[in-house]
Amino acid sequence: MERIETRLADGRELIYYFDTAAPAAGVPADTRDLAETGGPRSELRHDALRGEWVVVAAHRQTRTHLPSDDQCPLCPSTADRATEIPADAYDVAVFENRFPSLAGDTGRCEVVCFTSDHQASFRDLTPLRARTVVDAWAERTRALSELPSVEQVYVFENRGAEIGVTLAHPHGQIYGYPFVTPRTRRTLDIVRAHRDCTGGDLHAERLDAEHADGSRIVARTEHWTAFVPEAAHWPFEIHLYPHRKVPDLPALDYAERDDFARLYLDVLRRLDALFGVPMPYVAAWHQAPVRADRELAWLHLELFSSRRAPGKLKHPAGSEAGMDVFINDITPERAAEMLRTAGEPDR
């Protein structure tokens, strides 16, 4: 993989990642007439009763929303239309979000474009391209972790209109939060309490239990296991764990990154094969905080879909949204069996 760094017309950072060699001629400049960044920013407000931070980002009301294919801002630029990507083709591109939820003292938001092909999805990538994306995730995690305003780096992808995606082009995002998120803090506290009480590692014990049981494993490779957790919240929820304990994406070695790329493509293709239609999903990387409790964390990816049957979605309603108590209509064992028998993924 090679990379080229540049800047967009308003000063935002743009990085191209290439599967193999970067073009000898370099990359074109952004010719748009854009004002320098520095407009309205988000603010943090603290919910005292829940002990959680809320991000208020009123400026995002004007962000691009479900544009037509020929107006997509993530497609390559053409002679007739300049986009967020000045190049006329690219492998992977990462840039600062034009409408960030977090920026400056309140963190950072980046967009990760997986391919210049507007009609593709992550599942359509080659193993080589998927590996380039993994390397880009790892590099950006390292870079954002060095920012003084960032306490946790969150890499994720939302896919499908049912999830609330506003841009159809295959892409994900990276958030650099100025605090440790509530979900991560709760998990770390539970892992710490378990260690203090038993001396064991709850992540390791959980992974060992899934290996021993076997009924919820979807796929397993030399370095990774994909399984439906015993207490899955969503109809189809798959966790992908490396067998070696590492805190974050930069800590993965060469073989682990290669192995993940192949396994993840397998899992995504199985997910789409369940009902013969593209499954909406959220893919969320859980990484250690930047500066605290890193020894408690175990890097893993949680992938979940709100589709429970053809034409039927699982919506967080009264119990889920109001009380954080999930009610699942499909047993995890049945979900894992359906994924295992969804047919061999396309090659």
Burial of 311 (0-12, 13-18, 19+ CB in 10 A): exposed
Does the annotation count 171 as an active-site position?
Answer: yes
75 is in an annotated binding site: yes
Alpha helices, H only, 169-222:
182-198, 202-213
Which residue out of 171, 223, 239, 286 is catalytically annotated?
A: 171
Residue labelled with tokens 């959220």:
282
Residue 340 CA to residue 217 CA, distance in Å, equals 8
Report DSSP letters for 245-291, one per residue. Answer: --SSGGG--HHHHHHHHHHHHHHHHHHHHTTTSPPPEEEEEE---SS
> What is the CA 327 to chain-centroid distance, rounded?
24
72 is in an annotated binding site: yes
* Token reading at 252: 């993965």
Phi, psi (5° rounding) for residue 207?
A: -65, -40
Burial 47-85 (b: 16+ CB within 10 A, else e): eeeeeebebebeeeeeeeeeeeeeebbbbbbeeeebbbb
Cβ 204 vs Cβ 298: under 8 Å: yes
118 is in an annotated binding site: yes
Residue 246 CA to residue 243 CA, distance in Å, equals 9
* Token reading at 186: 């709760």
Q: Which residues are catalytic?
A: 171
Which positions make up the binding site for Zn(2+)?
72, 75, 118, 169
Which positions make up the binding site?
72, 75, 118, 169
